Amino acid sequence: MNKEHFSVTKLDKTFGATVRDVKLSKLTEGEVKELYSLWLRHSLLIFPDQHLSTIEQIEFAKLFGVMEFDLAPISNVRSDGSIRDPVDDDVVKSLRGNMEWHHDSTYMPIQAKGSVFTAHQVPEEGGETGWADMTAAYKALDPKMKDKIEGLSAYHSYVYSQAKYKHKPQEESEFSGYGFDVDPHPFRPLVKTHPETGRKSLLIGRHAYGIPGMSKKDSKALLDELNDFACQGDRVYHHSWTPGDAVIWDNRNLMHQASPWDLNEARVMYHSRIQGDASSESGLNYL
């Protein structure tokens, strides 16, 4: 194992690092181990100038776990090259929703472990991806708030989070999506313990609603307060994409969002999603 040849530069944030002098399509076993431990340490790894093919992207993602799905375009461009309607198209409604902070797949029985994301075509302006560090956010909470939320849980639903975009996620739509709501909606603690680092983090985001024992209004107010507090300052990083960039993030302790862009302009990204461990990422009612 060669521990010296990667060039790792920490972001000026509570998390994240840029890794250079590495070729993701040609990793040795030793390099994979090293990258895995770097990933657990920094939660977000950014790899400039990789230009992975779709097959190389899937192969890379598989080094980090079992796949929830191999590859999905996150794009406002149809396969014939035309741009989707910026308002009425179901796929674009899902893109608009993803501009709010969230963890992936929390409305599914098992939330995602992590994701690989690559940039292929990016707009002139905007369209960055942001991540927010929920471990640092939990740590920074007032002790009274920590006491208040310890033991609280919320339901997670994609129908709930997409309702404001007048989007009803359903299998018949052109938006085939990456999973739909399940019945019952998964129930997840607001404070999650990371299965590999043992560190506590907030598990919140746009899919969460309905904390039992609280009115709808109070539950939303508490979740909004936590989201607002969590996603600010040096706990947040927005990455400005260059085609060829690849990233991998830990979905167990980071939230993410897309920044807005002119939806008349093309943005083509590819997303590979790594499945969570059933013993640690299942909803409490799916264990």
104 or 181: whose CB is closer to Fe ion? Answer: 104
Q: From the CB of 23, what's the least distance to Fe ion, in Å?
A: 27
31 or 68: whose CB is closer to Fe ion? Answer: 68
163 or 221: whose CB is closer to Fe ion? Answer: 163
- Interface map 58-97 toward Fe ion (x if CB under 5 A): ----------------------------------------
70 or 214: whose CB is closer to Fe ion? Answer: 70
> Rg of the chain over CA atoms, in angstroms?
18
Residues numbered 99-118 forming contacts with Fe ion, rule: CB under 5 A: 104
Q: From the CB of 144, what's the least distance to Fe ion, in Å?
A: 31
CA distance 114 to 272: 9
39 or 249: whose CB is closer to Fe ion? Answer: 249
245 binding Fe ion? (CB under 5 A): no
CA distance 251 to 235: 15
Q: From the CB of 249, what's the least distance to Fe ion, in Å?
A: 10
CA distance 7 to 5: 6
Using CB under 5 A as the binding criterion, the count of chain residues that bind Fe ion stands at 1
Question: How many C-beta neighbours within 10 Å does residue 180 have?
Answer: 16
Cβ-in-10-Å burial (0-12, 13-18, 19+) of 43 comes to buried
Q: From the CB of 147, what's the least distance to Fe ion, in Å?
A: 30
Interaction site with Fe ion (CB under 5 A): 104
